[in-house]
Structure 1
Amino acid sequence: MTSTLAQPSVAGWTAPKLSVVVPTFNERDNIVPLIDKLETVFAGVPFEVIVVDDNSPDGTAELAKTVAGERPHVRCIHRIGRRGLSSAVIEGMASSAAEFVAVIDADHQHDESILPRMLSEAEGGADIVVGTRYAGEGSSEAGFTKGRQTGSTIATRLSQLLTGKALSDPMSGFFLLRRELFNAVVPGLSREGFKILLDIIVSANRKRGGITIAEVPYSFRPRHAGESKMSPLIAAQFLGLIVSQISRGVLPTSFLLFSLVGASGVFVHLATLTFAFDMLGFNFANSQLVATLVAMTTNFILNNELTYADKRLRGRRFFTGLLSFYLVCSFGTLANVSVASIIYEANLANFFVAGIAGAVMSVVFNYSVTRTFTWRS
């Protein structure tokens, strides 16, 4: 005897042609007005909105879910324990079954009215369509402070060197592409950082040997509500992405940040050693011990806030993580000394080169082990 499961009716439902991914963190006041605007510009066009929220404390995800319960073309991916714009965009795009996917910020600085034209360009053959602030009638003055404008200009020029494309706005967070192109490049994309378009373009060029990019100009607007997410962390992660791409992914962005934090620890160590020895009158051994503990502690705090911002440890996990960091770095120091000594005593290099080799060994060891045990996902 066979049983037949009742199939849900799909009468009146049309598969979306376009998925609009909206990464969010503390954007509660912006979500509903943005969805309203998207509904206006895509009247008659089957589309969906995918809100990817990083567990915003202001209740963005809860509001998005409420809207999704009322509007069938809205979905919410509520991420717990994961943070970062690039990884949010990747997760949103990966959940789409539409032919085309777009990314737009939730703060209304991107002009949603050009999305139909961007879609038309993609339907006409473009692999990626970028909303640009720096070509044609596009402008960015209204949405940037003078300082951010200067930073954006410098970052754009660096990005143009990397992409090798005559692209006016490679730093744009407003773009649209074919989903099959995303599927082809996603295994090699970095989940770290905030500038995913640059990563997609470079990865697609390497994967396919050339892609077609179209640009649609728009005027960058002031933020509608909430606060900007721009910070020194974003700038550091961008520079890390540039170096990572130049190395073709051999040096991950997180490793570069980890190394920079380690370099800052050298200065902290020397400053603390001098203070303890000269000012506090400690003997050298005790001064060295204090300096080592202070340097490891500051390194842990900086890595927790910068390198692993998406896995940031809080509360009790902060202190257990700190203890594991102390332990790992102690073994890293042994690895440093051992490797340097072996190289020097075997006459393979002078003391300076041997010291560098030991330091590199220590950084690689500490990075690999702490990533696995201290800041495990």
Structure 2
Amino acid sequence: MSIEPTSEFAQPNLLLSVVIPAYNEEKNLKSTVTSLVTLLIEERVPYEIIIVDDSSRDDTAKVAQTLRESDCQIKLVRRTPPRGFGRAIRSGLAAASGDAIIICMADESDDPRDVVTYYRKLQEGYDAVFGSRFIRGSVVRDYPRLKLVVNRMVNKTIQWMFWCKFNDLTNAFKAYRRDVLMECAPFLSCHFNITLEMSLGVLIRHHNIAQIPINWYGRTWGSSNLSLRRMGRRYLQTLLKVYSEWILVSDDLIEDRLAHHRNMEAAQENHERRLQEQSERLSRIEKMLTSDGTEKQGTSHVNPEESHS
């Protein structure tokens, strides 16, 4: 799952789709998007931004519309009730057209520099990139104490259940190759538990996942829409769903993954064969042109004595 990807799976030309679900984020959305777009342009990352307004009660939709009008690479999806973080993510995924997908929060908690790092890792050939706020190199500011305790307990439980090293699976801020994510579809979660459904879905299919340290900053305006009490039952349901899938059909999932790798290798071999054939054709044409030029040059040098005879 964390093996270094080989160069044959590197993908330098990926279109990045950043999905940003937003509910009552009128004060945070503009700065979140503009700082991200500025950095993506500086880093020459081909991008599209999908803002999903989840039936906000404030002016989030107006802010998003203004952003969309200022940049043709920004899309706006306006949802009607029922609301839900998972529903917003699903709508954003449906509107995304990129080869790489990153889920990013609208409240400035995620660092745009980490978005670029995620993208570069996917370019290297990783199937997914999971950021962690709890490994060396990460920076976390103003994380609520109660949420921190609950987060650590839940993620330790997940690590134990799935025998994995990833220690921040409940965080939404992650990157996926589109085709890898679609293997795990359809996603059924309507709320924040979709973060687990997506990350664990990729995990149990034995994809090549990188874990990197990321930064996280507490919001400067507004309040979080996550309720620990309401989400407990939903997280448990999702855990049991994915765990049963992992236990009952793990052999099939491994077969699917191996088939995916075989298809990737075959596509790479076909690509290399086409390049080789093209190179050989060009070489033959070059030789023909060279030989024609030599023949013409030979006929143009006539012996002077012969011309006088």
Q: Pick from 34, 37, 43 the counterpart of residue 35 of structure 2.
A: 37
CA contact (8 A) 1:20 1:47 kept: yes
> What is the TM-score normalised by the length of structure 2?
0.70
Q: Which residue of 2 aligns with 1:233?
A: 230
2:95 maps to which residue? Answer: 95
Compare the two structures and name the one with the higher strand fraction. Answer: 2
Question: Secondary structure of the residue that 2:185 maps to in structure 1?
Answer: helix
State the partner residue of 2:176. Answer: 177
Residues 1:221 and 1:205: Cα distance change in structure 2 (over 3 Å): closer
Q: What's the offset of the Cα at 1:173?
A: 1.2
Distance in 1 separating the partners of 2:17 and 2:183: 17
Instruction: Report the equivalent of 2:266.
Output: none
Match of 1:111 in 2: 111
1:18 equivalent among 16, 35, 38: 16
- Cα distance in 1 for residues equivalent to 2:54 and 2:118: 27
| 1:122 aligns to 2:122 (yes or no) | yes
Q: Percent identity?
A: 24
Once the two structures are TM-superposed, the CA of residue 16 in structure 1 deviates from its matched residue by 7.6
Q: Residue 246 of structure 1 aligns with which residue?
A: 243
Question: Could you say which residue in structure 2 is the equivalent of 1:298?
Answer: none
SS in 2 for 1:215: strand
SS of the residue 1:29 aligns to: coil
Q: How big is each residue's C-alpha offset from its partner over 1:256-283, in whole Å with a ceiling of 9 and x where there is no partner?
A: xxxxxxxxxxxxxxxxxxxxxxxxxxxx
1:93-150 deviation digits (Å, cap 9, x = unpaired): 221111101001111111121111111111111111112101121143x231211110
2:134 partner amino acid: Y
Larger Rg: 2
- What residue in structure 2 maps to residue 217 of structure 1? 213
Q: Partner of 1:164 in structure 2?
A: 163
Cα distance change, pair 79–16 in 1 and its aligned pair in 2 (3 A): farther
- Return the offset for 1:183: 1.9
What is the one-letter code of the residue matched to 1:61? A
2: CA distance, partners of 1:68 / 1:199: 30
Structure-2 separation of matches of 1:182 and 1:200? 7
Alpha-carbon distance, 1:165 to partner: 2.0
SS at match of 1:134: coil
Shift of 1:38: 0.6
Q: Is the 8 A contact 2:189 2:197 kept in 1?
A: no
Structure 2: give runs of 5+ residues left out of the alignment: 1-12, 247-309
**What is the aligned partner in structure 1 of residue 195 from structure 2?**
197
Partners of 1:139 and 1:171 lie apart in 2 by: 17
Paired with 1:240 and 1:185, the residues of 2 have a C-alpha distance of 17
**Structure 1 residues 74 and 163: alpha-carbon distance in aligned structure 2, compared to 1, 3 A threshold:** farther
The alignment covers a number of residue pairs equal to 231
Q: Quick one: which amino acid aligns to residue 212 of structure 1?
A: N
Shift of 1:41: 1.6
Q: Kindly indicate whether residue 85 of structure 2 is the aligned counterpart of residue 76 of structure 1.
A: no
Counterpart CA distance in 1 for 2:188 and 2:156 is 21
State whether residues 114 and 216 of structure 1, in contact with CA within 8 Å, keep that contact through their aligned partners in structure 2. no
- CA change 1:104–1:163 in 2 (3 A) is farther
Tell me, yes or no, if the aligned pair for 1:185 and 1:200 is still in contact at 8 Å: yes
Higher relative contact order (CA 8 A, sep 6+): 2
What letter is aligned with 2:172? G
In structure 1, distance between residues paired with 2:84 and 2:222: 18
For 2:153, the aligned partner's letter is I
> Quick one: which amino acid aligns to residue 219 of structure 1?
N
CA distance in 2, matches of 1:104, 1:18: 12
**How big is each residue's C-alpha offset from its partner over 1:152-192, in whole Å with a ceiling of 9 and x where there is no partner?**
101111222344321121112111110111222112x2232
Distance 1:30 1:178 in 2: 27
Q: 1:190 to 1:80 in 2, by over 3 A?
A: same
Contact 1:159 1:198 (8 Å CA) reproduced: no
> Which amino acid letter does the alignment assign opposite residue 248 of structure 1?
E
The match for 2:47 is 47
Contact (CA 8 Å) 2:53, 2:76: kept in 1 or not?
yes
Q: Aligned with 1:81: secondary structure? A: coil
1:42-87 Cα deviation digits (max 9, x unpaired): 1232211111111100121222122212211111110002321122
Matching of residues 243-322 of structure 1 within 5 Å:
243-248=240-245
